[in-house]
Amino acid sequence: MPIDPKIALGAQLPSREFAWTPSDVQLYQLGLGAGTRWTDPAELRYLDDREPQVLPTFATVAATVHETEPPRVSFPGVEIDLAKVVHGHQEVEVHRPIPAAGKATKVSRIAEVWDKGSAAVIVQEHTVTGSDGAPLWTERSSIFAKGEGGFGGERGPSTKSELPDRAPDFDVTTPTLPQQALLYRMSGDRNPLHSDPEFARAAGFPAPILHGLCSYGIVCKTATDTVLGSDASRVIGFRARFAGVLYPGETIRTRIWRQDDVLTIAATVVERDDAPVLGDVSLRIRPA
């Protein structure tokens, strides 16, 4: 059985020590499109050689930024073919601004395992502590494994947030490059679904798709630039559900509603009649 919930649920995963440099941060943020406004001082803060400001979404790649092998879906009680897996949701909470360089330790566990019948959902939780012993960030993420349900587990919650019933406060379009996925993968996500046309076709897509976490980072950056004057230190939390695919070269439309210190966001594909890319998106702001 690919999934044994009695073994998987609550399982502690091996802890991991890792480090990152300003060059890692620069490469990640270039992979999101940083530098498009190449003469804007606010934009260039993302690419400073010594102290680039760090988007909170860098947390999603910090531990794996130097990896060159495709990821494996192999945990206690879980063995799944990578071609069956798509990202379900991602959330990051930063306890302080992420430094431009650092060392940290990540402790992970399988927090939830849900049986959706035709698929399984596996939720991981990661706690990251800096070398000074103080917490840096907490992540929760889920994967959706097609064809791996039916193991007799609980179905789990079904939550979907509603968008405000009014026009958005901001409506922004962000083009992606045809080579966006090939650039983003240099930050450690070498899943061939994003680079190998044959692998993508075998997985049911006509062409390689953009990494969901790339779209996730692009939308976080777009909201930060649009609402917060490109001040990434004011973002304390960002979450989204991966609601659809984006092909490199397409354009993301980001609609943003602000209420106090929370942004509610919808991200869609301009070229495909606003087909969803990210849903249930929210960004929490540190008060100025």
Question: What's the number of domains the chain is made of?
Answer: 1
Q: Which of 194, 211, 225, 280 is catalytic?
A: 194
Q: Specify the CATH number for the domain of residue 51.
A: 3.10.129.10
Contact between 143 and 122 (Cβ < 8 Å): yes
Q: How does pLDDT run across 107-124, given as a tens digit for each residue?
A: 999 888 888 887 788 888
Q: How does pLDDT run across 50-79, given as a tens digit for each residue?
A: 999 999 999 999 999 988 876 667 787 787
Q: How does pLDDT run across 232-248, given as a tens digit for each residue?
A: 999 999 999 999 999 99
Q: Is 231 a catalytic residue?
A: no
pLDDT for the residue 149 = 75
Cα distances (Å, whole numbers) of residue 17 to 33, 130, 150, 238: 28, 10, 36, 24
Q: Is 169 a catalytic residue?
A: no
- Kindly give the interhelix angle for 212-227 and 22-31, rounded to the nearest 10 degrees: 90
Q: HEC profile for 57-84?
A: HHHHCCCCCCCCCCCCEEECCEEECHHH
pTM summary value:
0.91
The mean predicted confidence, pLDDT, of the chain is 92
Quickly tell me which residue has 């992970």 as its tokens. Answer: 108
Contact between 251 and 271 (Cβ < 8 Å): yes
Q: Which of 24, 115, 189, 280 is catalytic?
A: 189
Which domain range does residue 139 map to? Answer: 5-285
Q: How does pLDDT run across 171-206, given as a tens digit for each residue?
A: 999 999 999 999 999 999 898 999 999 999 998 899
Start-to-end Cα distance in the chain = 51
